[in-house]
Amino acid sequence: MGGYYIIFMSGLRASFAQDFYWGTSTSAYQIEGGGSNTDWWRFERAVGTPAVETCGVACDSWNRYEEDLDIAASLGLNAFRLSVEWARVEPHRGEIDVAVLEHYGRVLDACWARGLAPVVTFHHFTLPLWVADAGGFESPDIVNSIAHYARVVAEALGEKIAFACTINEPNIVAQMGYLYGFFPPAVTDWARFRAVNETLRLAHRAMVDALRAGPGSYPVGLALSMAQYVSVNGGDERLASLRREMEDEYLKVVQDDDFLGVQCYTRHDIGPEGMVWDFEGERTSMGYRYWPQCVEYTLHRAAQMTAIPLVVTENGIGTEDDTQRIRYLAEALEGLRRARRGGVDVRGYFQWSLLDNFEWTLGYGPKFGVVSVDRNTMTRSLKPSADWYARYVRHGPSPTANGEGSRRRPGPTLPELTD
């Protein structure tokens, strides 16, 4: 009898409590400030790395999280994505900082108190120094150490989690860190890039098992960076090998997860030598294409390759021009609606990002926020795109892309996704 019960239970997927989640996405290092115990902090200070500036206090959200959550709630959102910093939780191997876990417990409580379902990412780009010094994702030991960290956090916070992402964009960790040398540890080597991807997939699986052990029963998935890849000048072969490493191998290992987090920003043109940057057409401040069509495209691709629910855990645009952001979001969300109408099982959308924050190697240059942050006073100010997003969430799409004249209906209409 017990055996049947276990078989039955293991076939069950944790399900989502809401029909549709509307949120914004953030990560610990990019907004909290003071991430001094991480590989990134050291990378920003090392001579010869491409990092343009240091993270420092970021948005001081370690101290100002209630203000941030007030803003998110005021937009009418029902979810908030954040990450827990491993380097704070376990500053040295095996040494757990209980005060840090209590802090994150207060952050999750503060989310629920405002009607925001907390979506917790366990690893978002940064490693504790002791992990990086032990070889980071090139050491097989990391699979056990990251699963142990996930277990410790889940044991403390599991009951407060709405759903969880194990690792944020493992494929970008591998690509930027081991193929392009743009992230720590600044390696450029195809074989090492592939090996790190493999280790990251093992780490993901070990973390899923750790989180499913409870307490709490919440959907667990991976947040994968996806893009619309287009072959140019005969780049078919190159495209196939890049996409296999960046997407397909990951899509194979997520089949048993509760959902897949799809993160997309753009389209990449791939020629025989790799990424082609010389193209006609509109760009974002990241240098890549303005391509809101990527949402509809990647949702369809993910739906073709997996049989699990999807959540857009990140989408947005780095731009100084907030009207460009509104246009981008309107087009991206239109694509999401079309995909949903076409039968794609998509359960949420998280705009990247609530605040203008630390954009890794590019520092504070690119502005992804719907809220700006004064770098001297830390004052938060809503941009027109914040109001636009709030109206969209409450009332659905407006007849014009700039949000003028939106169809106002009385009362909260969350989740508003059917036409």
User: Where on the chain is the footprint of ligand GCO (CB under 6 A)?
Assistant: 27, 30, 168-169, 172, 225, 263, 314, 352, 359, 368
Which string of b and e fits 99-116 if b means at least 16 CB within 10 Å?
Answer: ebbebbeebbebbeebbb
Query: Are the C-beta atoms of 55 and 367 separated by less than 8 Å?
Result: no
Task: Work out how close the CB of 161 gets to ligand GCO at its nearest, in angstroms, rounded to a whole number.
Answer: 19
Query: Which CB atom, from 58 or from 172, has the smaller least distance to ligand GCO?
Result: 172
| Three-class secondary structure of residue 180 per DSSP | coil
- Torsion of Cα atoms, 219 then 225 then 230 then 234, to 10°: -120
Query: Which CB atom, from 156 or from 302, has the smaller least distance to ligand GCO?
Result: 302
Query: Which CB atom, from 266 or from 306, has the smaller least distance to ligand GCO?
Result: 266
Task: Work out how close the CB of 5 gets to ligand GCO at its nearest, in angstroms, rounded to a whole number.
Answer: 39
Which string of b and e fits 30-41 if b means at least 16 CB within 10 Å?
Answer: bbbbbbebbbbb
Q: At CA 174, angle to CA 168 and CA 179, rounded to 5?
A: 145
Report how far apart, in Å, the C-alpha atoms of 341 and of each of 255, 398, 408, 419 are: 23, 18, 22, 9
Strands 371-373 and 380-382 come out as antiparallel
Task: Work out how close the CB of 175 gets to ligand GCO at its nearest, in angstroms, rounded to a whole number.
Answer: 10
Query: Which CB atom, from 265 or from 392, has the smaller least distance to ligand GCO?
Result: 265
Task: Work out how close the CB of 2 gets to ligand GCO at its nearest, in angstroms, rounded to a whole number.
Answer: 42
Query: Which CB atom, from 269 or from 359, has the smaller least distance to ligand GCO?
Result: 359
Query: Which CB atom, from 218 or from 368, has the smaller least distance to ligand GCO?
Result: 368
Report how far apart, in Å, the C-alpha atoms of 315 and of each of 38, 48, 123, 262 are: 26, 31, 18, 9
Report how far apart, in Å, the C-alpha atoms of 412 and of each of 24, 392, 408 are: 18, 12, 10
- 301, 303, 333: which is closest to 317 by C-alpha? 333
Query: Which CB atom, from 325 or from 391, has the smaller least distance to ligand GCO?
Result: 325
Task: Work out how close the CB of 254 gets to ligand GCO at its nearest, in angstroms, rounded to a whole number.
Answer: 17
Task: Work out how close the CB of 234 gets to ligand GCO at its nearest, in angstroms, rounded to a whole number.
Answer: 29
Query: Which CB atom, from 104 or from 368, has the smaller least distance to ligand GCO?
Result: 368
Task: Work out how close the CB of 313 gets to ligand GCO at its nearest, in angstroms, rounded to a whole number.
Answer: 9
Strands 274-275 and 79-83 come out as unpaired
Q: Which tokens sit at 31? A: 């907004």
- 359, 351, 267: which is closest to 29 by C-alpha? 359
Task: Work out how close the CB of 300 gets to ligand GCO at its nearest, in angstroms, rounded to a whole number.
Answer: 20
Query: Which CB atom, from 127 or from 156, has the smaller least distance to ligand GCO?
Result: 127
Ordered alpha helix ranges (H), 185-248 = 190-212, 236-243
Task: Work out how close the CB of 233 gets to ligand GCO at its nearest, in angstroms, rounded to a whole number.
Answer: 26
Gyration radius of the chain's alpha carbons: 20
Task: Work out how close the CB of 315 gets to ligand GCO at its nearest, in angstroms, rounded to a whole number.
Answer: 9
Query: Are the C-beta atoms of 347 and 405 separated by less than 8 Å?
Result: no
Query: Which CB atom, from 25 or from 78, has the smaller least distance to ligand GCO?
Result: 25
Q: Is the dihedral of CA 214, 158, 103, 352 positive or negative?
A: positive
